[in-house]
A = this chain, B = another copy of it.
Amino acid sequence: MFTVGIDIGGTNTAAGIVENSENITHRLSVKTDHDYHTFLKNTGALITNLLSDADLSRGDITLVGTGCPGICNQRTGLVEYSNNLGWKNVPLEKDLADVLGLPVYVDNDANAAAFGEFTAGVAKGLNTVVVLTLGTGVGSGIIIDKKLYYGENFGGGELGHMVIEQGGLLCSCGRKGCFEKYASATGLGIITRNVMEKYPDSAMHTIAESQGKVNARTAFIAKRQGDKAGTEAVDIFVKYLACGITNVINIFQPDAVCIGGGVSGEGEYLLEPLRKVVNSEAYSRDSDFEVKLYACKLGNEAGIIGAANSAYCRVNHTP
């Protein structure tokens, strides 16, 4: 069985042929034009090229799932609001179906990525899972009883905009102290720069120079080299990330919290200190039940696979 997943990003739009809800056989991408009609035209060409690469015809494709930033209303097929793309109330499901000649289903991009990890990645086979993607912000998807949680307006699950430090750093959403201001890759960069200022002799200065700039890896590399300031920066980041994750556990008590985004590549260097804080603070710490912390494993493929699988499950009413 073949489906198509389209992961619409602010910069690039990637599409892939998904085989048996599990793996991508062919993949192509194109710059995302924020002009809606140009976007539709470009995406039409993208899918035509993708099918040609895969030597498949439209008749071989069951459906197309899209992951799009913003509020995607599955009752109406509209993208109601996408801050990233500057779209408001565009009928993406209908318009893209007309262009592609295939049935199209919309979903939010963070939800799609979470559903990818749930159906084909690290969270496969579990029941209730929260996926946090640490990037420019903190994207999140919540799966409850094998189904994505949307809230009543398809705008739910914005864990990145949960305030954990009342009156803290100003977030793009207008609130102060949102989780994503501290626990995103961007947040880690800010924490790293602040600590570097305090320690002019830290190895992080040399590391950042060789990297071209401070990024989310700078502090972790320094910590591995035994740099005290690097360790301090990582510790601050872990403190905030663990705070938000412990909130998530106290609220959802899921089977697992899965962490994606570039930082998750640190693997146990990130997960081990995180578990230490979470296991000493979560409300369930005295029971036999333990929420697992995992690093995501599908990377950029999660969005494509998840968009296709979310659409497939929606049509077939199967989790």
Given the interface pairs A156-B253, A251-B159, A253-B153, the reply to whether A81 lies near B144 with Cβ below 8 Å is no
Question: Among the listed B155, B159, B174, B251, which residue makes an inter-chain contact with A156, where contact means beta carbons less than 8 Å apart?
Answer: B251
Given the interface pairs A161-B283, A164-B166, A287-B71, the reply to whether A151 lies near B246 with Cβ below 8 Å is no
Best-buried of A142, A151, A155 by chain B (most CB within 10 Å) = A151
Q: Which residues of B sit under 8 angstroms from A151, Cβ to Cβ?
A: 128, 252-254
CA distance A173 to B247 in the complex (A): 12
Q: Which residues of B sit under 8 angstroms from A162, Cβ to Cβ?
A: 162, 247, 250-251
Q: Which residues of B sit under 8 angstroms from A175, Cβ to Cβ?
A: 246, 281
Question: How many Å from the CB of A93 to the closest CB on chain B?
Answer: 18
CA distance A158 to B243 in the complex (A): 14
- Asked whether A209 is an interface residue with its Cβ less than 8 Å from the other chain, the reply is no
- Asked whether A62 is an interface residue with its Cβ less than 8 Å from the other chain, the reply is no
- Asked whether A294 is an interface residue with its Cβ less than 8 Å from the other chain, the reply is no
Q: Which size class do A's interface residues fall under?
A: 35 or more
Question: Among the listed B127, B161, B250, B280, which residue makes an inter-chain contact with A250, where contact means beta carbons less than 8 Å apart?
Answer: B161
Minimal Cβ-Cβ distance residue in B for A168: B166
Q: Which residues of B sit under 8 angstroms from A289, Cβ to Cβ?
A: 152-153, 155
Question: Is the beta-carbon distance between B158 and A283 smaller than 8 angstroms?
Answer: yes
Q: Which residues of B sit under 8 angstroms from A71, Cβ to Cβ?
A: 284, 287
- Asked whether A95 is an interface residue with its Cβ less than 8 Å from the other chain, the reply is no
- Asked whether A286 is an interface residue with its Cβ less than 8 Å from the other chain, the reply is yes
Question: How many Å from the CB of A157 to the closest CB on chain B?
Answer: 7
Question: Is the beta-carbon distance between B286 and A155 smaller than 8 angstroms?
Answer: no
Q: Which residues of B sit under 8 angstroms from A250, Cβ to Cβ?
A: 156, 158-159, 161-162
Q: Which residues of B sit under 8 angstroms from A168, Cβ to Cβ?
A: 166
Interface of A toward B, CB cutoff 8 Å: 71, 80-81, 127-128, 142, 144, 149-159, 161-166, 168, 173-175, 177, 239-240, 243, 246-247, 250-255, 280-281, 283-284, 286-287, 289
Q: Which 4 interchain pairs have the tightest Cβ spacing? A: A151-B253, A156-B253, A153-B289, A158-B250
